[in-house]
Amino acid sequence: MIRIPPQRGGWLEVICGPMFSGKSEEMIRRLRRAEIAGQRVAIFKPRIDDRFDATDVVSHAGARMRAIAVSSVAELQARVRDAEVVGIDEVQFFEPAVVPAALELADRGLRVVAAGLDQDFRRLPFGPIPELLSHAEFVDKLQAVCHRCGGPATTTQRLVDGAPAPYSGETVVVGAAEQYEARCRGCHEPGADAARAAA
Ligand code: ADP
Ligand code: MG
Ligand code: ZN
């Protein structure tokens, strides 16, 4: 897709979708191109997500790029320094203050690329993503391949011992025994307690 970025000032791009949809891959692709073009680039990720590597953004296919793990939005803001292009991966894990922070960077003239899960495992909007989507100049919603049927997967299925995880579980579980699959709308299975939780 050909896009004409604004000629003055910065802007906000959001890359969203379920797990395995290639958000990190796309983030790395965009920021690497910016770097090759001579722009100063910084990628941030929340310190919570150390599944693969504490200091790199790593895609499930193995692509990686240097990143800065931060514990808060304030730390992110302090470490932007002279970057012209700022990537924020796993943006759904940041506190709500990430929205005004991203907008402030864009207003200051930076290109901000935010990537994250648009839905949690219950298929509810995830953290700051809805607001980021509505403020963004550019939005891409990526799909994975449904683990069940091969169709376009737009949801993340959390499994515990192979069965759909309870709807009432924590939204964020780090380093636990959960497994995740990308699934399409038709194949996504709510936890057994979903109807009760929704009532
Ligand atoms: P995300 O950041 O959205 O979780 P990544 O960029 O880390 O995604 O990983 C994308 C890669 O994951 C794909 O290129 C592919 O190699 C791998 N992958 C594993 N399972 C799937 C799946 N079900 N659908 C698509 N890609 C998958
Ligand atoms: Mg990712
Ligand atoms: Zn399916």
32 lines ligand 1 (CB under 6 A): no
pLDDT in tens, 21-73: 999 999 999 999 999 999 999 999 999 755 555 689 989 999 999 999 999 99
Domain that holds residue 82: 11-142
pLDDT in tens, 101-118: 999 999 999 999 999 999
User: Has residue 190 been placed in a domain?
Assistant: yes
Average pLDDT over residues 118-124: 97
| Mean pLDDT taken over the chain | 92
Mutate which of 19, 60, 117, 118 for ligand 1? The one with the most ligand atoms within 8 Å of its CB, which is: 60
SS3 (DSSP) at 149: coil
Q: How many domains does the chain have?
A: 2
Based on the domain organization, do 158 and 131 belong to the same domain?
no
Based on the domain organization, do 165 and 87 belong to the same domain?
no
Residue 116: give its domain's CATH number: 3.40.50.300
Round to whole Å and give the CA distance between 54 and 58. Answer: 10
Based on the domain organization, do 138 and 40 belong to the same domain?
yes
Closest residue by Cα to atom 15, ligand 1, is 61
Residue 167: give its domain's CATH number: 3.30.60.20
